[in-house]
């Protein structure tokens, strides 16, 4: 579930992180945010700079959020494990994201600079990434639409004023790892994601070699992965077949990013193997959907039941009943519950990871 990404205490930089380039600071902007390319002549109209290349200078942008913004909370759901090849956070609080946009591969670097957000982007998708920066960081989200009905949620919202729901506008980049997470432990899914992206993706544009960032394959790249590589990644036939069905209609699935929640859920769930759990996990990220509550999760109903009714054995039906006062904001409510830390103590062994690689 997206809400499992609670902020972690800062850790010392890993060797490959220590050499990460410093963020180029752009001049402060007191008006509308703008894309920054090479400076135009002083007496002429703005000129569009050359498309940033693998080794060329980035395009940059500064944006002032409308309120408190915690980058760790906002961007955390994009991270698929501690060594996600598409996402990094370095020790100075800078976030790096490699993705495949409608314009092509792109790398985005984001950092807080006082009350502003400074961003830089490389690759064919740089313009697209910078244009979507406000939406990515929750500009379209309305935290004030959430009215807490429980003391726990009221206190958590007060303590986490920087929580906003991100919106990537990209479906496949969230759908594929969500499919990999079906019915397995998160560690298994993270390992599969790392293996497949590093093996079949492409190095991310920009100065990312020290970070080891990669862009995931395009739909054709996913479709061309041999069956034995899925096996080597410990991905069973059911999940790999679902991914292959999805990438065949990737363009139609990407259209869900502009749909309202019921239509988007329906569009994704037309694909055999994609159910309510997977579609909700995807649309929480791609659409910033505040009501995309995750049903079918192994742990979430018990966590919500424990937090709101002291019932750790709640099922999906009881969870949805408890969340009824938050209709329209149920995903935000579950994120706040998870961020509160008020979760039941474990009383059974962790799920045993499976391994098909030796078969």
pLDDT at position 11 is: 44
Contact 345, 225 (CB under 8 A): no
Contact 101, 27 (CB under 8 A): no
Instruction: Average the pLDDT over 195-204 and give the result.
Output: 98
pLDDT at position 28 is: 38
Instruction: Average the pLDDT over 133-140 and give the result.
Output: 98
Task: For residue 46, give Cα distances in angstroms to 34, 38, 41, 125, 150.
Answer: 11, 10, 8, 21, 52
The pLDDT-based confidence of 56 (bands split at 50, 70, 90) is confident
Which of left, alpha, beta for 317 (phi over 0: left; psi -120 to 50: alpha)?
alpha
The model's pLDDT over 174-187, given as tens digits with 9 standing for 90+, comes to: 999 999 999 999 99
What is the Cα–Cα distance from 1 to 284, expressed in whole angstroms? 9
Structure-derived torsion over alpha carbons of residues 41, 43, 44, 45, reported in degrees to the nearest 10 = 100
For the beta carbon of residue 66, count every other beta carbon within 10 angstroms. Answer: 12
The model's pLDDT over 298-334, given as tens digits with 9 standing for 90+, comes to: 999 999 999 999 999 999 999 999 999 999 999 999 9
pLDDT at position 357 is: 73
Of 301, 107, 318, 273, the closest CA to residue 204 belongs to: 107
Contact 183, 189 (CB under 8 A): no
pTM: 0.84
Q: Which residue has the higher pLDDT, 171 or 348?
A: 171
Q: Output b/e per residue, 159-194; b: 16+ Cβ within 10 A.
A: ebebbbbbbbbbbbbbbbbbbbbbebeeebbbbbbb
Residue 95, pLDDT above cutoff 80: yes
- Specify the 3-state DSSP secondary structure of 112: strand
pLDDT at position 41 is: 35
Residue 22, pLDDT above cutoff 80: no
Q: Which 8-state DSSP code applies to residue 315? A: -
pLDDT at position 345 is: 84
Lookup result for tokens 């009215």:
147
The pLDDT-based confidence of 222 (bands split at 50, 70, 90) is very high
């Amino acid at each position: 579930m997206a809400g499992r990404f609670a902020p972690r205490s800062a850790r010392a930089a890993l060797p490959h992180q220590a050499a990460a380039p410093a963020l180029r600071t752009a001049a402060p902007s007191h008006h509308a945010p703008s894309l920054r390319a090479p400076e135009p002549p002083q007496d002429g109209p703005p000129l569009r700079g050359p498309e940033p290349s693998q080794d060329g200078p980035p395009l940059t942008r500064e944006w002032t959020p409308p309120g408190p913004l915690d980058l760790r909370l906002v961007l955390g759901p994009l991270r698929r494990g501690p060594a996600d090849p598409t996402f990094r956070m370095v020790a100075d609080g800078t976030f790096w994201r490699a993705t495949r946009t409608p314009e092509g591969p792109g790398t985005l670097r984001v950092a807080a600079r006082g009350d502003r957000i400074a961003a830089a982007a490389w690759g064919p998708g740089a313009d697209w990434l910078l244009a979507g920066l406000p939406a990515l960081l929750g500009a379209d989200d309305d935290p004030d639409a959430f009215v807490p009905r429980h003391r726990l949620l009221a206190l958590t919202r007060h303590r986490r004023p920087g929580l906003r729901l991100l919106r990537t506008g990209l479906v496949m980049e969230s759908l594929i790892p969500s499919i990999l997470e079906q019915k397995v432990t998160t560690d298994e899914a993270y390992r599969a994601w790392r293996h497949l992206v590093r093996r079949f993706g492409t190095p991310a544009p920009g100065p990312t070699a020290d970070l080891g960032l990669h862009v995931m394959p395009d739909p054709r790249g996913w479709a061309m992965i041999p069956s034995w590589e899925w096996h080597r990644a410990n991905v069973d036939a059911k999940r790999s077949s679902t991914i292959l069905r999805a990438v065949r209609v990737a363009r139609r699935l990407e259209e869900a990013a502009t749909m309202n929640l019921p239509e988007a859920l329906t569009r994704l769930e037309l694909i055999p193997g994609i159910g309510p759990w997977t579609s909700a996990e995807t649309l929480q990220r791609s659409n910033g959907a505040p009501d995309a509550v995750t049903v079918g999760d192994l742990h979430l109903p018990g966590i919500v039941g424990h937090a709101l009714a002291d019932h750790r054995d709640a099922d999906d039906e009881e969870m949805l009943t408890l969340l009824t006062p938050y209709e329209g904001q149920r995903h935000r409510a579950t994120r706040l519950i998870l961020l509160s830390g008020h979760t039941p103590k474990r009383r059974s062994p962790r799920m045993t990871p499976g391994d098909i690689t030796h078969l």
